[in-house]
Chains A and B, each alone.
Chain A
Amino acid sequence: MAAPPLNAKFVRSHMVPNAQNMPAGGMGTILRLVYEFWGFCLHGSNDLRAPGWMASSQLTGSYISMPTGFESGSNILLASGSDGTTTAGSPYFSVTGSAPFSASYVGKWLTTWQSGSTSTDDSIYPIVGWLNSSSIVIDPQCGGTPPTTASVPQLTTRSGINYRVIDYYAASGLTYAAGQYFVIQFNDSGQVNSGQASSQAKIVSYNSTFSELRVQLSPSGSWDGTHFVSESYAEIAPEVSLGPSYGGWGIADWFHGVGVFPGYVTLVGGTGFLLCQAGGTWMSAGGGQNAGSFFHIEVPSRMYPQASDPNPICAINVGSGRASIQANVGYGATHRFFPSPYDATLRRWPGLIKSITGSGWNGSTFLAAIQSGPTLGNGVVSRWSLFENPRINKFLMNSAVMAMATVPGQAAATGQFSLARARLRSVRFTSGTYPLFIRVGDGTDRWIHAGGGTMWPWDHALVADRPVFMGF
């Protein structure tokens, strides 16, 4: 079946001005953002309190184990309603039948969504001004929709908008404990691959400082409220030393001590995928060394028959390692951790791409001297016009397919060989030597260079006053 459109929505460079109890509070802020974006902006119903698309198959227990108040504590969820309106080009958010807003909400954040909408207006916005109890001013750039004639995101004209006012600083002050989690569910897996179960992913943080984000996958979606039933794939800990010269502090962490604020978080999600990138000096002791962390979960397009691979889902999780597709170990940011149904083992699956130079990367034409090792990531910009063909106005990008072969640092997967199990849908790859933030594509096929040769779904938006993909 043809891959469905990505229908991506965004939280573009959410700025975290401060957090309590660092580094646990920083991780708490990130998890609270992911929860809000997934459960409401992407998949919210008209229920203003219950998030959408959380694990729903539980027999006992819950989809979540977080500190009391994490979801709807009165000091965190400050207000909510369903009567929001916006007007094209205007930064104002107003309500029509209530008066929920307080001047103290400035500095807090507004979540907006309409059930079933694909509008990129569904996002999380900083509240930057208070007009009256029915109207506030928000910064549209976090979400919004770039007009066809411009690139700076603006709000569009909508009414009947669901909204929630959230205090993430308060969320950071909760008492987090190692191993707390919530479990998201990809109800749209079947839109990607016929017959696929609603696969699930557990987002969890570990260690004594609550600084190590992990992802655990459940292809069949078997969460019963306390654990995954009949499948127990290893949790994906943050990788380190992903690239040869970027970040990584030798231990599996997203946060490494207490650094200097502000921090920045970008979220992108859509049909069958969710990615979260966080960066900035707030993530490391002394404010240095951080190279950006991210996780990216995806239901990829199945390439084998359904019976051979019923429920493919994969993920990558990088702690301060940048999205570089170069690698010392493990095939860089093009690999994904992928559960195998044949030996119930989670392994790192390297990404194969169609090499424009045949089977191998040639050592002269396509490599730059600034980095070592032949790889797509080392494209020589001076010989390549950004892989662009000006005659047809197209940009050559690669989508990766997941293969299983010998991977450095991983036990040989004898008997598990695979050439092309699944094609990644929500990421493209190109030369890593191109500048950050280059935006390419047209129609619904639009991407941004997040750095290191990795391109993520985008919509041509420009963010004017703060860094995107901080640390990359």
Chain B
Amino acid sequence: MATHVCRDLLIGGSNGWASGSTDSMWALSVFLQGVLGYVTLSAAGAPQPPGYADFSVAYYSASISPFSLTQVSSSIVSIHTPSCFVTSSGTHTLLQFSTDVVNLQKAAYPVGWPSGSGPWPQGDPLLGDWIALRSNAAPAANSGIFAVTDSTNYLSGNAVAIDYRTTSPAVQETGALLTASIWLPPPSSDISTAPGRGQSRTGGGNWALFNAMAGNGNSSGYQGQGSATVPRLLLQSPGPLAWQLRLCVESTPDATYGGAVVSSGPRLTAFPGFSGSAGDYPTGTLGMPGAMHLHVMQRLNVSFAAAPDYVGCLPALDAAIAAVTGSQPFNPTFKLGYRFYAWGDDVTGTCLVAVRNSVGAADAYMAFGQAEAEVLYPGQCAASRLFTVGQATVGPGLTWANGTFATFKEGITGLSYCTDARFGPLACTVSSWSFAADQFNDSNSIRFDATAADTPFLGATEVIESELVAGAWDNLRTPGNTIIFPMEPRQMGRFPFARFGRATGQSAWSTGDTLGQWFHASNGFYLPWGGLASLP
């Protein structure tokens, strides 16, 4: 297993025009497909969520007199084909493609383009495109999503320059080709000023159509399914357990009932499960087998309005303002930009994704998949090995405080599934370290201790693992509220990727040790890092 890291991808570009949830969904789907090896199964809603087929890049042939362009190819890089090296030129990091899988000369110069007429007249042909890289040799440094910054000046080497998102020298890989795939960025993050740059958006990848996002109108049930136009994408994970993942930008009625979830509540959810189709999971019946997925609202087909005790059951990823704009077209009126990070396991497909405030947003994280070093139990159903953890409300940021929707700064919740297939989802907690006594709240955590520093035992910052525990909360709305989940605590295994460490003395969003092996997001929440300098 390798942990692949997507490092600091800019969302919203320099203009700060991100659309929020939908852009997060776009980037996450690129990471899952292009890096971790997920496969798109189905999609629903309008706009269509991103699948690989929507991001093909076209070659054109040109006729000069009269001038016309004809598309001659719909793809230049296969998603599964090793295709490039990582090299550098001066301070620039380059991706040097194998000419048998991508020929940048052809992309820059349409067939028939007169020799000596200069490169593609409308500018940099791949500028702003996202290239998803999967590196087996340096997965924490060279995997991820990188934006092309220059595809005209390195044509002779069949290379493009990328935004490597570090001041460190590139970790060069020239011995074995890396798997690469080229994707159009979401329009709001597109830094290219040349709409006719020789590529075309196919399928439904026009994310300007946010006004179309709506629930199915059934106010007593879960609205983000069936005829709903909210974007959904159903993916197949790469691992042997063969679970599916449903990404969805939840509808306004589902996410914002009665102010119980604040109107700017998070929207992008990622629920693992089984037996999905057409972008949705099936509805189930309590006490009956089937419908093995973690999406409580969809499994019970209930709304927060009809069943308010279920508030908190849509753990999601988003920054506060991102959610406000998540159902609207990107618009200069709503300045929003943030930075996207992801960590993924290429064996199971387990993933942790984080967003970092840049322009008017807030920090957040979401994780889903399977625990590391799983603790297994005889006879448990497959869905009970799955989890999703995210924000039930806005504001918690990246931290170790778990809890319910309603408790300040404890708004990170999670879901797993009962070991008995008949009894559906139940709560899931990231079990992290507390003093057994006298720790009244998160602020008393050892992470914030005044003496917290490098430990003399290691001469370095110490980080330790946490654990996923299923069935340790009986509701996710308010402590002490109505019991809706069975209390049947079960250790699931290690919480993936993240480690628990000191917050005292550590800057947020920076490497937390001298070797750069761990990245301190905030509040003592550490994530694997590839030894490269982090950007402020």
Q: Measuring CB to CB, which residues of chain A are less than 8 angstroms from any residue of chain B?
A: 304, 308-309, 325-327, 331-332, 334, 342, 350-366, 373-377, 383-385, 387-392, 394, 396, 398, 400-401, 403-406, 408, 412-421, 429, 453
CB-CB < 8 A to A363: which residues of B? 440-441, 479
Give Cα A326 to B438, complex, Å: 7
New A-B pairs, 6, CB < 8 Å, besides A327-B437, A354-B431? A352-B435, A360-B442, A360-B445, A389-B490, A390-B488, A404-B451
Give Cα A140 to B353, complex, Å: 59
CB-CB < 8 A to B440: which residues of A? 360-361, 363, 373-374
Q: Is B120 an interface residue (CB 8 A)?
A: no
Taking a contact as CB atoms closer than 8 A, the residue among B435, B450, B469, B471 that contacts A331 in the complex is B435
Interface hit among B199-207, B264-272, B397-405: B397-405
**Complex interface residues of chain B between 403 and 432 (CB less than 8 A to chain A):** 403, 407, 410, 412, 418-420, 429-432
CB-CB < 8 A to B399: which residues of A? 359
Residue of A nearest to B423 (CB): A391
**Min CB–CB distance A212 → chain B (angstroms):** 25
Query: Given A342-B457, A355-B431, do A360 and B438 touch, yes or no (CB 8 Å)?
Result: no
**Min CB–CB distance B492 → chain A (angstroms):** 12
Q: Do A415 and B433 touch (CB < 8 A)? A: no
Interface digits, B469-483 against A, CB 8 Å rule (1 contact, 0 not)?
101111000111001
CB-CB < 8 A to A357: which residues of B? 402-403, 429, 472-473
CB-CB < 8 A to B441: which residues of A? 360-361, 363, 374
Interface digits, B3-46 against A, CB 8 Å rule (1 contact, 0 not)?
00000000000000000000000000000000000000000000
Instruction: Tell me the count of chain B residues lying within 8 A, CB to CB, of chain A.
Output: 63
Give Cα A128 to B515, complex, Å: 67
Taking a contact as CB atoms closer than 8 A, the residue among A334, A392, A406 that contacts B436 in the complex is A334
Give Cα A396 to B471, complex, Å: 11
Q: Is B449 an interface residue (CB 8 A)?
A: yes
**Min CB–CB distance A455 → chain B (angstroms):** 12
**Min CB–CB distance B323 → chain A (angstroms):** 23
**Min CB–CB distance A412 → chain B (angstroms):** 5
Query: Given A385-B487, A389-B490, A421-B457, do A360 and B444 touch, yes or no (CB 8 Å)?
Result: yes
Q: Do A353 and B434 touch (CB < 8 A)? A: yes
Q: Is B455 an interface residue (CB 8 A)?
A: yes
Give Cα A400 to B483, complex, Å: 29
Query: Given A356-B472, A357-B429, A360-B410, do A417 and B489 touch, yes or no (CB 8 Å)?
Result: no
**Min CB–CB distance B188 → chain A (angstroms):** 34
Query: Given A354-B431, A364-B480, do A309 and B420 touch, yes or no (CB 8 Å)?
Result: no
Give Cα A383 to B486, complex, Å: 10
Q: Is B300 an interface residue (CB 8 A)?
A: no
**Min CB–CB distance B408 → chain A (angstroms):** 11
Q: Do A325 and B457 touch (CB < 8 A)? A: no
Query: Given A356-B489, A358-B412, A363-B479, do A391 and B419 touch, yes or no (CB 8 Å)?
Result: yes
Residue of B nearest to A343 (CB): B456
Q: Do B472 and A360 touch (CB < 8 A)? A: no
CB-CB < 8 A to A419: which residues of B? 433, 446, 455, 462-464, 500-502
Q: Is B172 an interface residue (CB 8 A)?
A: no
What are 29 A-B pairs at a CB distance below 8 A? A304-B457, A309-B457, A327-B438, A331-B437, A352-B433, A354-B432, A356-B431, A358-B402, A358-B403, A358-B431, A360-B410, A361-B439, A361-B441, A362-B403, A362-B407, A373-B438, A376-B434, A391-B418, A392-B377, A392-B419, A405-B449, A406-B449, A408-B438, A412-B451, A417-B453, A417-B455, A418-B455, A419-B446, A419-B455
CB-CB < 8 A to B450: which residues of A? 406, 412
Q: Do B433 and A359 touch (CB < 8 A)? A: yes
Query: Given A394-B490, A396-B491, do A308 and B457 touch, yes or no (CB 8 Å)?
Result: yes
**Min CB–CB distance B308 → chain A (angstroms):** 18
Which of A351, A366, A375 has the most chain B CB within a 10 Å cutoff? A375
Taking a contact as CB atoms closer than 8 A, the residue among B410, B455, B456 that contacts A358 in the complex is B410
CB-CB < 8 A to B431: which residues of A? 354-356, 358
Which of B434, B453, B472, B487 has the most chain A CB within a 10 Å cutoff? B434
Q: Do A417 and B454 touch (CB < 8 A)? A: yes
Give Cα A388 to B502, complex, Å: 32
Give Cα A400 to B439, complex, Å: 14
Give Cα A108 to B466, complex, Å: 51
Q: Do B456 and A415 touch (CB < 8 A)? A: yes
CB-CB < 8 A to A390: which residues of B? 488
**Min CB–CB distance B432 → chain A (angstroms):** 5
Q: Do B456 and A359 touch (CB < 8 A)? A: no
Q: Do B452 and A353 touch (CB < 8 A)? A: no
- Name the 3 nearest CB pairs between A and B, nearest first: A358-B402, A364-B479, A355-B434
Residue of A nearest to B452 (CB): A417
**Min CB–CB distance A363 → chain B (angstroms):** 7
Taking a contact as CB atoms closer than 8 A, the residue among A353, A362, A375, A384 that contacts B433 in the complex is A353
Q: Do B451 and A406 touch (CB < 8 A)? A: yes
CB-CB < 8 A to A362: which residues of B? 403, 407, 410, 479
Q: Is B345 an interface residue (CB 8 A)?
A: no
CB-CB < 8 A to B474: which residues of A? 365, 383
CB-CB < 8 A to B489: which residues of A? 356, 387-389, 396
Q: Do B432 and A355 touch (CB < 8 A)? A: yes
Which of A359, A373, A392, A417 has the most chain B CB within a 10 Å cutoff? A359
Taking a contact as CB atoms closer than 8 A, the residue among B435, B467, B479, B502 that contacts A365 in the complex is B479
Give Cα A361 to B431, complex, Å: 11
CB-CB < 8 A to B420: which residues of A? 391
Give Cα A403 to B419, complex, Å: 34
Residue of B nearest to A378 (CB): B437
Give Cα A327 to B491, complex, Å: 27
Give Cα A286 to B513, complex, Å: 59
Give Cα A70 to B433, complex, Å: 46
CB-CB < 8 A to A389: which residues of B? 471, 488-490
Give Cα A362 to B401, complex, Å: 10
Q: Do A384 and B487 touch (CB < 8 A)? A: yes
Q: Do B445 and A359 touch (CB < 8 A)? A: yes
Give Cα A357 to B410, complex, Å: 9
CB-CB < 8 A to B380: which residues of A? 392
